[in-house]
């Protein structure tokens, strides 16, 4: 059973300056929820009830977001705004949140290692990267957990990317797995140049990992960019026995990128029962008028 997750949330968000000068990029709203809320709700849907935020200075508002806010609750209650009250109050009961600081930006592998104090070494856990928003209707993380429980191997989400995008991702060398959509990964390289990429299959920000990864991470030397890379620790594990890649077959948005953030906003707004019909109608009219 996987009931814990580590969420690396310490990044500076420089791709969204000036918005992220004082607001963590994970707190930027997609429609009306901060990006990090989608990630925590994804955890809760997958049965995860214990989440470690790995943060850095200036990002405490993420913890506050999942705390009670008694003055606001009292004001909403006094006005009889029951729906808003539930939206605010229920966030605190979603999962248990622990928070640890990554004092220096020493890499994704180092950030995950910061979670070790809250994850027993004999327990498997999930890692979700805040930049990757996976369709909220999908059960992809549940499926990754099921694959991990069946195989006992680390499981990573894979996405086919254009060749020139290889240098943005961890790229996998694979053979077909037993089940459609599953790949056996024998090697992983962090952000290779397109000429050196072994495939078009990129790791995106969902991982289900055995607790033993912490030991591997402790032994992992700085790699790409002088940082301790999660990809390198997984590569070491893949060299001993293949790890599993599950190909993403549901929409995913790179909310760490301006275009991806806009795509996420449009797609998630369009999917909303309350906003979708009016928003899509407006969007159609707007495009027609613009293209006349
Ligand atoms: C990280 C990982 C990379 C992975 C990517 C997915 O890179 O290091 O292996 O492919 O996330 O989004 P980052 O985007 O944090 O630079």
Locate the ligand 1 atom nearest the alpha carbon of residue 108 and give its number: 8
204: Cβ below 6 Å to ligand 1? Answer: yes
Check: CB of residue 263 under 8 Å from CB of residue 253: yes
pLDDT tens series, the chain, 292 aa: 999 999 999 998 899 999 999 999 999 999 999 999 999 999 999 999 999 999 999 999 999 999 999 999 999 999 999 999 999 999 999 999 999 999 999 999 999 999 999 999 999 999 999 999 999 889 999 999 999 999 999 999 999 999 999 999 999 999 999 899 999 999 999 999 999 999 999 999 999 999 999 999 999 999 999 999 999 999 999 999 999 999 999 999 999 999 999 999 999 999 999 999 999 999 999 999 998 8
pLDDT of residue 71: 97
Instruction: State the pLDDT at residue 136.
Output: 84
* Nearest atom of ligand 1 to the alpha carbon of 204: 6
Predicted pLDDT of residue 226: 96
Rounded-to-integer distance, Cα 84 and Cα 28, Å: 19
The confidence score (pLDDT) of residue 183 equals 98
Contact 246, 147 (CB under 8 A): yes
159 lines ligand 1 (CB under 6 A): no
All domains in the chain, ordered by first residue: 4-256 (3.90.550.10)
Strands (DSSP E) contained in the chain are 4-8, 29-30, 33-34, 50-55, 96-101, 125-128, 132-134, 155-160, 170-176, 182-190, 201-209, 243-247, 252-254
> Residues near 144 by Cβ (< 8 Å), separated by ≥ 6?
126, 155, 157, 206, 208, 246
Ligand 1 pocket, 234 CB below 6 A?
no
Is 223 a pocket residue for ligand 1 (Cβ < 6 Å)?
Answer: no
Contact in structure between 125 and 4 (CB atoms under 8 Å): yes
- Rounded to 5°, angle at Cα 162 from 158 and 165: 85
> How far is ligand 1, taken at its centre, from the CA of residue 169, in Å?
5
What is the bridge-based pairing of β-strands 170-176 and 182-190?
A: antiparallel
Q: What is the pLDDT of residue 266?
A: 97
* CA–centroid distance, residue 199 to ligand 1 (Å): 16
């Amino acid at each position: 059973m996987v009931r814990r997750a580590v969420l690396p949330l310490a990044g500076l968000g420089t791709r969204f300056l000036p918005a992220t000068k004082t607001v963590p990029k994970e707190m930027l709203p997609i429609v009306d929820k901060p990006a990090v809320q989608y990630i925590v709700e994804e955890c809760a849907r997958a049965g995860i009830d214990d989440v470690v935020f790995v943060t850095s200075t200036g990002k405490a508002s993420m913890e506050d977001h999942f705390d009670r806010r008694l003055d606001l609750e009292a004001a909403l209650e006094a006005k009889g705004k029951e729906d808003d009250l539930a939206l605010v109050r229920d966030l605190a009961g979603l999962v248990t949140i622990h928070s640890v600081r990554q004092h220096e930006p020493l890499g994704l592998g180092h950030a995950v290692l910061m979670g070790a104090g809250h994850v027993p070494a004999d327990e498997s856990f999930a890692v979700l990267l805040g930049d990757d928003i996976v369709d909220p209707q999908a059960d992809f993380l549940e499926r990754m957990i099921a694959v991990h429980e069946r195989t006992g191997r680390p499981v990573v989400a894979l996405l086919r990317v254009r060749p020139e995008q290889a240098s943005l991702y961890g790229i996998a060398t694979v053979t077909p797995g037993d089940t459609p959509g599953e790949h056996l990964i024998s090697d992983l390289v962090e952000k290779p140049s397109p000429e050196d990429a072994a495939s078009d299959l990129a790791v995106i920000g969902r991982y289900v990992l055995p607790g033993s990864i912490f030991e591997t991470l402790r032994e992992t030397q700085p790699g790409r960019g002088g940082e301790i890379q999660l990809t390198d620790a997984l590569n070491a594990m893949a060299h001993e026995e293949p790890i599993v890649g599950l190909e993403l077959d549901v929409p995913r948005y790179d909310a760490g990128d301006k275009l991806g953030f806009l795509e996420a906003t449009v797609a998630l707004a369009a999917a909303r029962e309350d906003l979708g019909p009016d928003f899509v109608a407006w969007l159609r009219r707007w495009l027609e008028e613009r293209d006349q």
